[in-house]
Amino acid sequence: MKEDQKRAFLTVALCGVILFGWQYFFAPEVDYSATMKDGNKKVAQTTENNSGSSEIKASEQNTDIQTEKISELTLKNEIASYTLNSNLEVINANSFENNSIYSDYFKSNSFLLLFNFNESFQKLSFSLVSQDDTSAKLFNEKYNLNLDIKLDEKGFLNYSFQSTNEFTYKVVYGNVKKGEEGSSFMAFSQPKSSFGYYASDYNTIPMSTEDSGDKKIKWASVDNEYHMLATIFDKEVPYLFKTTESGEFNFFTNEKVKNLDFKQVFTRKEYDYLKSLGHKLDLSIDFGIWGIIAIPILRGLQFFYTVIPNYGIAIIFLTILIRLLTFPLQYKSFKSMKKMQEIQPELNKVRERFKDNPQKMQQETMALFKKSGANPLGGCLPLVLQMPIFFAFYRVLYSSVELVGAPFMLWISDLSVKDPFYILPVLMAFAMVLNQKLMPTTTTDPVQKKVMMFVPLIFAIFMKDFPAGLTLYIFVSTLVGMLQQLYVYKRA
């Protein structure tokens, strides 16, 4: 992702240099084969007594807790479903929000909770006390540890631990080797996978890199570009965290507790939905430094999509709107470029007359600019205005799940990936060439003119692997810009 941003910046910067340079001197492997079976409970009955249940007398309690040993536990409602094993590892999670089913998208043992009762951090096996569709009670006999789990109406899986003994705990993410054959890591084994945590702000750590620190973590996640499994704690306490090259992220606290409450959620990283969930989960969508512009662009796309349910059409309408909103400033720029063309013969005379006197040439040139009202830097304004919008559009198209798989028309079946036939980059380059023909030149240098002719080709080569939606934006923006120039030149 960062490399693509660098390429995007390099593209614009390089073209800017060509255009104007002439005018400026971060748990061991465990094999789990249990799979989710439509939310049905898979319970293996204990053989500790003839009744098929074991009687456990909890220390400091006067009640007998009858439990059943389990291999899997599934909780499910209309929003989500989660399947855990007896060690509380999340082995399957599904998200059904927004009437979209992402069945079996997340399958792994990449979340594990370890406990330390004054010995060492270890996995605990829990037995089932009771269960319904959305809640369950579990119990660990050795440490007299009770657990209530409930799946709420927002899709959060809520955990509540109570014990008569103090303990510390450690959270482990990603204890499956990335890319291992036969692994069920699935979506989170992709190159874009990362770990994230929210302390005073949101931070990401690329998977399989080493990092460590001490932070007051409110929530942490394992996610890819478009989905995430987040663990949100009720209290913000200091955690020591560490990521490893083997693809593990763990964090723990030295604070001893008898009660522990937290919640989990598996969801698409859709901006508005994450906002509705709260806890600042929307920060997991990285709009970068252009967020102040990217969010209005996303809102604009969403608005036009409600009018015509096609994100390609929405991009076209939004591009036209942006061009209209920035037209007042561009109008002055176009007028200045027109005047620069008109005074070009006089500029050439001044340069010829005072070629041996650079100081006098500069004085006369500035006087001519002032007299004609021309601004030699005026032509830079359209590019300066378009650069932030370009990068903001890029971040929206790259980070917003709304556009994933969104078709436009004909050969464009997904606006979030590159044009498979490179037709849009070619059309974009052609439009830029045509724009050069219409744009008044401010130089008579034949070498500079030839260099300028290669700018569209260079830009097209850089843009060929970028999202088709971004290329569509540049293509439409160039066409609208040409119409605006023609309008200004006829009135100037």
Please state the separation of Cα 366 from the chain's center in Å. 48
E-strand stretches of 85-192: 90-95, 111-116, 127-131, 135-140, 145-151, 157-173
Residue 13 has a pLDDT of 55
Res 178 pLDDT > 50: no
- Closest to 288 in 3D by CA, of 367, 192, 212, 388: 388
Higher pLDDT among residues 339 and 412, named by residue: 412
Give the range with max mean pLDDT: 153-157, 190-194, 342-346, 413-417: 153-157
145 occurs within a structural domain: yes
73 vs 28: which has the higher pLDDT: 73
The yes-or-no verdict on residue 486 having pLDDT over 60 is yes
pLDDT (0 to 100) of residue 381? 62
**Domain end call among 260, 281, 302:** 281
**Domain assignment of residue 154, yes or no:** yes
pLDDT recorded at residue 235: 81
pLDDT of residue 347: 79
Tell me, yes or no, whether 125 and 234 share the same domain: yes
CB 55 within 8 A of CB 66: yes
The domain tally of the chain equals 2
pLDDT top residue among 398 and 171:
171
pLDDT at 117 over 80: yes
- pLDDT score, position 29: 40
**pLDDT at 376 (0 to 100):** 66
- The CA angle 88-89-95, to the nearest 5 degrees, is 105
Same domain, 350 and 244: no
> What pLDDT, on a 0 to 100 scale, did the predictor assign at position 62?
37
Domain identity same for 268 and 337: no
Which among 38-52, 242-256, 381-395, 440-454 has the top mean pLDDT?
242-256
Judgement on whether residues 243 and 329 belong to the same structural domain of the protein: no
In degrees and rounded to multiples of 5, residue 244 shows phi and psi of -125, 165
State mean pLDDT over 170-176. 73
Whether 215 and 178 map to the same domain: the answer is: yes
pLDDT value of position 137? 96
Task: Give the domain extent around 357.
Answer: 2-24+290-491
Residue 53 scores a pLDDT above 70: no
Higher pLDDT, 444 or 410: 410
In a domain, 39, yes or no: no
Q: Are residues 327 and 451 in the same domain?
A: yes
Any idea which residue has 């030699």 for tokens?
376
Last residue of a domain, one of 231, 263, 281: 281
Domain match, 6 and 86 both: no
Under 8 Å between Cβ of 93 and 82 = yes
Same domain? 20 vs 129: no
In a domain, 38, yes or no: no
pLDDT at 38 over 50: no
* Strand, coil or helix: 213: strand
Whether residues 133 and 156 fall in one domain: yes
205 and 343 housed in the same domain:
no
Q: Does the predicted TM-score (pTM) go above 0.85?
A: no
* 318 belongs to a structural domain: yes
Q: Indicate whether 206 pLDDT > 90.
A: no
Q: What is the CATH number of the domain that holds 217?
A: 2.70.98.90
Specify if 32 maps to a domain: no
Last residue in a domain, options 235, 260, 281: 281
- pLDDT at position 398: 73
Q: Given a cut of 90, is residue 111 above it in pLDDT?
A: no
pLDDT at 188: 38
- Answer yes or no: do 259 and 111 share one domain: yes
Do residue 237 and residue 337 come from a single domain? no
